[in-house]
A and B are shown apart, each in its own frame.
Chain A
Amino acid sequence: MLKLAFYGKGGVGKSTTVSNLASAFAANGLKVMQIGCDPKADSTASLHGGARIRSILDLVRERNNDFTLEEMVRIGDGGVVCVEAGGPTPGLGCAGRGIIAALEKLQEKGAYDMYKPDVVMYDVLGDVVCGGFSMPMRKGCADRVFILTSGETMSIYAAANIAMAVKNFRGRGYASLGGFILNRRNVTDEDAKAAKLAADFDSEVTGALDWSETVQRAEQLGKTVVHAFPESPMAAQYRALADAVLAAVREGDASC
């Protein structure tokens, strides 16, 4: 089982990218589980027609522990097993604690044993601001962390922070850095900035995605690009990124 966590500044395109990667992996015959680790609980929306699904924290709040594994997941396009951790009411409660509780509940209910996914992807909100946000990279969760960034300064800054956290946690046996993914925003010297960031952490830019209207069109349909417009150049980019991610993981494994 391949377990990957995706981090990056809010709004950089994590959920869109992760969902398209899920579709690309699924199209290659892999069994995929995507776990949204965001109180908004909208990570997997484009895998099931844009509809919201009930989050684990919603279930915990309503029914404590009296719910089944099947109620925690929804099978999306391409058979992707979709899970949303959810979180507290905005402005109240602790989002980090919400992620911890949700991931513990998945483990407790035997999600990984039941669905036996080939690839598990954690789509994690924002920066590693507290213990809860480091949960997906802990032992037992992800093996590799991929960080999404654009060429915008704040995005690069957040990506560097996350990479630093991954580096600091390495001694604990946490996930290692798989690489950076550049989601282009047509900023000047964008590729060079991403390459420099990767080099600063002895890593690489695993893949890059162009800005494309196709992404917005697919989102309006409540679908991933790979699913809605499989013949589009953008879908080809996502498929290429999926291959590159797998290659980066293999390369990382070989060098361990």
Chain B
Amino acid sequence: MLKRLNGEDDMTGAEVAVRDAGFPAPFVSGLEYNAPARGPWNIVHTGMLIPESHQVFACAQGCLRGVILTAAEMLAMDRMSWISVDKNDLFDGSLERNIVDGTAEIIRKLPKKPRALLLFISCVHLFAGCDFEVIMSELRTMFPDIDFIDCYMNPTMRKSGLTPDQLMRRQLYAPFEPCPADRNAVNIIGNDRPTDESSELVRLVRAAGRELRDITQCRTYEDYRRMAKSALEITYLPTAKASGDALENRLGRKHLYLPLSYDFDEIERNLAQLAGALGIAAPDWTEAKQDAIRSLEQAKAVIGDTPVEIDYTATPRPVGLAALLAEHGFRVTRLYADVMIEEERPAFERLRALAPDLLLTATVHAKMRFAGKGVHERGDVIAIGQKAAYFSGTKHFVNIVSGGGMYGFDGVLRLARHMTEAATHEQDTETVIQRKGLGCRSCL
């Protein structure tokens, strides 16, 4: 077990003032720690968004533990099966055969045939050069009424190409095939929670008389399949951009990437772009902007100089959020992020100027093993995000992941309200953050 040898508070290498931090990767990658803040979704949660689907994992037994626990916790064990891989499968060349035969057996034994089957292969299959196309082709021939989706649980390859999260979000829409476009429908792609109805994004789509489709609101497989017809794909999470690009290429649909932002000019540009694509005039957002600012001022009045800490699981733009809050007088003292995305570079420069002493802290650095329950615990903090809550030890935190469905000026307004609420209400942090997949069912 990793032990602090001298008991001293030495965070060298795991923490740096933003004025001295490199961009986009301020820390050296090495032995990693994973804080017990389990709200962010994993590939199992995301895959479960497809209604009437079943997941099959083909991997070594040791790798199955995490995915099975996820399914069990979200009370979805009836939607998951697995095929374990043995070293002998490598010797006798049966890796591919076992997947085909195993999946077929699973399907035959299920009480009801799934509409879609998400088949996950693992690192060993990729190392061994298994031909996934051949596997899928054989299964499609055997079960033509099931949509088979190739999925990947390959953590050893997570630092090259698309991340497992990006890949999973892209594969969510893999069964969509070219078809005539329904001009009256618009998709939000790649999200794991609905976008607030009050957001300017949703209001614009409604104002244009379009139907908004989102996998998070699909109840049946037919709902999900209908998304294939929508004429416009909107993404706003960086992890979803590859999904939108893939649909644009494959279906010939227009894809608008309107990144979730806390920069008012960027928000306005995004909304103008959306209005243009919807063929309507962009409204005047002055009032919405003022409401957002007012909400920030109200939150500041309640929070005062209490330190604010933000982590990257709360929003894909934690640097931008920190800059916004610093601009509005909040005492943002710490930002938890192991790497930053290129989109955050302008915000990073702004933040350096606004709050040069703000500490940038890693979450996976081995030293963070002691940060949650040890000398770094600081109860008097408003945290935004579960990891910030865990590391600071606060009971006052905004419990969101991946932006929390908040978007635009309305998103800023709502986030400020959540901060106010966090300042005035305590939560049982340990109980709340140990539940996997915020928003999913949990048996805990």
Contact = CB atoms under 8 A, between A and B. Distances in A.
A100 B129 contact: yes
A173 B137 CA distance: 11
A135 B128 CA distance: 11
Interface residues of B, number: 12
Q: Which of A60, A64, A131 has the most C-beta atoms of chain B within 10 angstroms of its own C-beta?
A: A131
B130 A131 contact: yes
A89 to B, nearest CB: 17
A139 B133 contact: yes
A96 B129 CA distance: 8
Contact of B161 (A65, A94, A97, A100): A65
A108 interface: yes
A67 to B, nearest CB: 12
B127 A97 contact: yes
A108 B161 contact: yes
B160 interface: yes
Contacts of A139: 133
B302 interface: no
A138 B161 contact: no
Interface string B314-352: 000000000000000000000000000000000000000
Contact of B160 (A60, A96, A132, A138): A60
Contacts of B161: 65, 108
Contact of A64 (B129, B131, B134, B159): B159
Nearest to B90: A130
A64 B159 CA distance: 8
A171 B126 CA distance: 21
A100 B125 CA distance: 12
Residue of B129, B134, B137 contacting most chain A CB atoms (<10 Å) = B129
A96 B119 CA distance: 24
A2 B389 CA distance: 58
Contacts of B137: 173
B65 to A, nearest CB: 25
A57 to B, nearest CB: 12
Interface in A128-180: 130-132, 134-135, 138-139, 172-173
A97 B134 contact: no
A131 B160 contact: no
Nearest to A101: B160
B159 A130 contact: no
Contacts of A108: 161
Nearest to A131: B129
B159 A97 contact: no
A172 B131 contact: yes
A108 B131 CA distance: 17
B129 A172 contact: no
Contact of A135 (B127, B129, B159, B160): B129
Interface in A87-116: 94, 96-97, 100, 108
A101 to B, nearest CB: 8
B131 A130 contact: no
A132 B130 CA distance: 9
Interface in A20-38: none
A139 to B, nearest CB: 6
A132 B129 CA distance: 5
Given A65-B160, A108-B161, A172 B134 contact: yes
Contact of A97 (B129, B131, B133, B160): B129
Nearest to B138: A172
Interface in A160-210: 172-173
Contact of B131 (A60, A65, A94, A138): A138
Contacts of B159: 64
Contacts of B130: 131
B239 to A, nearest CB: 17
Contacts of B160: 60, 64-65
Contacts of B131: 131, 134, 138, 172
B370 to A, nearest CB: 30
Contacts of A131: 128-131
A131 B345 CA distance: 42
Contacts of A94: 127
A199 to B, nearest CB: 28
Contact of A130 (B129, B133, B134): B129
A102 to B, nearest CB: 12
Interface in B125-166: 126-131, 133-134, 137, 159-161
A130 B126 CA distance: 12
Interface in B239-255: none
Nearest to A171: B134
A5 to B, nearest CB: 15
A8 B133 CA distance: 26
Nearest to B128: A131
A135 B137 CA distance: 17
Interface string B392-422: 0000000000000000000000000000000
A57 B383 CA distance: 43
A103 B160 CA distance: 14
Contacts of B127: 94, 97
A96 B90 CA distance: 14
A113 to B, nearest CB: 12
Given A65-B160, A97-B129, A134-B131, 17 more contacts: A64-B159, A64-B160, A65-B161, A94-B127, A96-B129, A100-B126, A100-B129, A108-B161, A130-B128, A130-B129, A131-B131, A132-B129, A135-B129, A138-B131, A138-B133, A139-B133, A173-B134
Interface of B: 126-131, 133-134, 137, 159-161
Closest 10 CB pairs of A and B: A131-B129, A132-B129, A172-B134, A131-B128, A100-B129, A97-B127, A65-B160, A96-B129, A64-B160, A135-B129
10 contacts: A60-B160, A64-B160, A65-B161, A100-B129, A108-B161, A130-B128, A131-B129, A132-B129, A172-B134, A173-B137
Interface of A: 60, 64-65, 94, 96-97, 100, 108, 130-132, 134-135, 138-139, 172-173
